Amino acid sequence: MTPLHDRDSNTPSDSGGILGFVPVFHPERMGPLPRDAAQLFWDPDAQTQDPEARRALQSARARELVRRILETPVPFFRRKLEEAGIKDPTDFRGVEDLASIPLTRKQELRDSEAQHPPIGDYRFTDLRRCVRIGQSTGTTGTPTTTIFTRKDIWIEYESGARMFWRSGQRPGMIATHAHPAYLYGGGALLSGTYEYFGIVNLWVPPPDTDALAEQGIRAWMRFKPDIPFVGFSLGRYFEVCAKLGLDPRKDVGLRIPSMPGGGKGMPLITAGIECYAYIGSGCTQSPGAHLNEDWAVVQAVDPTSGRDVPDGQWGNLVVTTLDRDNGVLRYDVEEACALVREPCPCGETTIRGFWGGRFKDLLSCQGKRFQAAELEAALRGVPAVREPSLEWAVVRPQRDDAPLIVRVEQGNGNAADAAQACTGAVMEKLGIVAQVEVLARGTLARSGYKTNRIVDA
C-alpha cells in the first residue's frame, strides 16, 4: 500500500521542509499498470486459469454471495433463497445448487423499487456507500436503477479492458462513442472504461438533432479516431453527412461494419448495465464470446424447470454476478443465449456464449419466428433504401396469416422498384410475405441512441 502523502521528490532539499508532506501522483491509483503490448490477454492469470480452479473460485464467491444475502440481510434475495430451502449459509454448497433458486425478472426489481423506494430491497449496500447511480433508458417501461460502488465500477473496467485488449485496442489509441449521459449510466461507464484502459476517450453527443450529429462529425474530422465510430446511431451520422455535403467514408472516416446476419449466433458481450455490462468479449478465433466466469455464473436456462439446457441450445440468459458489492442472484435477463464449453484454440479457458436476441424484439408471423435485426439485415440488402441511411419500422403482427407490414423510407436509389425489392428481400431472407410501404424521407422518428423499430398497429 503506497502512502497517501509522500515527501515530494520535486521539492528542493534546501526548502527546509516548508512544503512538508504533499499529495503525490501515483498512476496505479487512477488505473492499471502497463502491460506488454504483445501479450495475448489483458489478464492472463484470470483468462487462462485452469477450469477446475475457476469452478472452485466461482463456488467460493457464490457461497459468499449467499452468506451476505442471509446475513446483511438482502430481503428480496433472501426470500428467493428461502423458496429454495436455503435458510443458512451451510445449506448452499456452490454453483451446483444455483439451479434450485428461483429466477428473478426485471419486473420484480421494478416492483421492489416501487415498494421500497428509491432503490428497492434487493441491494447489498446503502445508496450512500456508492459513488455512481444510473437508470435504464426505460424503452421497456419504468426505468430501473443501477448503483455502483467503486469496486463494482472496477470490475466493469477490468472486464471491459479484457474485451478491448482482445480486439486489438491498445493504450494510446483514440476511440469514440456517442452513448447517452446523465441519468443513463451507459455513457459514463464506457467513458470511464476507456480512460481506465488508457485509450483517448472522444465522447461526442448522441445525434438526437442534426446540430448535435454535426458536432460529432466535426470532432471526428479534427481528431481522427483510430477506432471508427460504431453504434446504434451510425445511420444518423450518414444521413447528416449527406445533408452537410460530406462523404461519410472519405471525409469523416466512418464505415458500416460487416453485420452478422441478424441476432442469431452473435457473441454474448453484455447482460445490460443493470446486471453485467461487459460480461464477455468476442473471440477472434472461434464463434461466440468468452465469458468472465470469475465474476459471473452464466447459465442458459429452461425457464419452466429452472435447469440448464444442454450446451449449444438456446435458453434464457440467467446471470449470477460474483465478488461485487451489489450483485444479482439468478437474474433472468429475458434474452436468449447458448453456451459451449469445448476448449478454444485461442488459449482462453472460459466458456463461450452466443446471444440470440431480446425476447421483446422477437416477432412471430406466418409460422416463423425472427428478430427485428434479421429483418433489418434483409432490408439492408436493398440498394434503393440503404443510402444515406436505412430508416425502417415494422408493425407488430396481429394475425399470424396476414402479410407483415414493413415501413421503409425512400433512399437515394430508384423509387419505383423500392417496395418490390424490399418485399423480395424479406421473402428471400425470412420466407415471409410482407406488405412494404415506402415513405418519404424524414417521415419516421429518429433517435440519437436506440431507435424503436417495432411499432404497434
**Residue 291 CB, nearest approach to Zn ion (Å):** 11
Cis, bond preceding 343 (omega within 30 deg of 0): no
Task: Compute the least distance from the CB of residue 347 to Zn ion, in Å.
Answer: 7
CB of 283 or CB of 351, closer to Zn ion: 283
Nearer to Zn ion, 283 or 438 (CB): 283
User: Which residue number, 280 or 397, has a Cβ lying nearer to Zn ion?
Assistant: 280
Cβ distance to Zn ion smaller for residue 350 or 423: 350
In whole angstroms, give the CA distance from residue 329 to residue 99. Answer: 11
Shortest CB 447 distance to Zn ion, Å: 34
CB of 359 to Zn ion, least distance (A): 28
The least distance separating Zn ion from the CB of residue 166, rounded to whole angstroms, comes to 9
Query: What does each C-alpha distance from 222 to 180, 199, 217, 303 come to in angstroms?
Result: 22, 17, 9, 50
Closer residue to Zn ion (CB): 209 or 286: 286
- Cβ distance to Zn ion smaller for residue 175 or 344: 344
* Cβ–Cβ < 8 Å for 426, 379: yes
The least CB distance from residue 12 to Zn ion, in Å, is 54
Residues 70 and 81 sit within 8 Å (Cβ to Cβ): yes
Q: How far is the CB of 289 from Zn ion (least distance, A)?
A: 9
The residue among 283 and 419 lying less far from Zn ion, judged by its C-beta, is 283
Distance in Å, CB of 290 to Zn ion, minimum: 6
Q: Which helix (H) or strand (E) holds 68?
A: helix 51-71
Q: Which residues bind Zn ion (CB under 5 A)?
A: 283, 286, 344, 346, 348
Residue 156 · residue 163 · CB < 8 Å: no
Q: Give the residue with the Cβ less far from Zn ion, 173 or 346.
A: 346
Q: How far is the CB of 47 from Zn ion (least distance, A)?
A: 9
CA distance 432 to 367: 9
Contacts of 41 (CB under 8 A, 6+ apart): 47, 48, 162, 165, 166, 347, 348
Written as nine digits, the cell of 229 is 465510430
- Where does residue 182 fall: left (phi above 0), alpha (psi -120 to 50 degrees), or beta otherwise? left
Residue 310: CB minimum distance to Zn ion, A? 21
For residue 177, what are the β-bridge partners?
A: 203
Considering beta carbons, is residue 205 or 280 the nearer one to Zn ion?
A: 280
Residue entry with cell 394475425: 399
Count other Cβ atoms within 10 Å, centred on residue 107.
Answer: 13
Tell me the closest approach of the beta carbon of residue 345 to Zn ion, in angstroms. 7
Which residue has cell 429518429?
446
* The three cell numbers locating residue 107: 419486473
Q: Which CB sits closer to Zn ion, 143 or 287?
A: 287
For 132-176, the DSSP string reads EEEE---TTSSPPEEEE-HHHHHHHHHHHHHHHHHTT--TT-EEE
Q: Residue 159 — φ and ψ, nearest 5°? A: -65, -45
**35: part of which helix (H) or strand (E)?**
none
Residues near 273 by beta carbon (within 8 Å), at least 6 away in sequence:
134, 136, 146, 185, 186, 189
Q: For residues 405 and 435, is the Cβ–Cβ distance under 8 A?
A: yes
Distance CA 126, CA 128 (A): 5
Residue number with CB closer to Zn ion (279 or 425) = 279
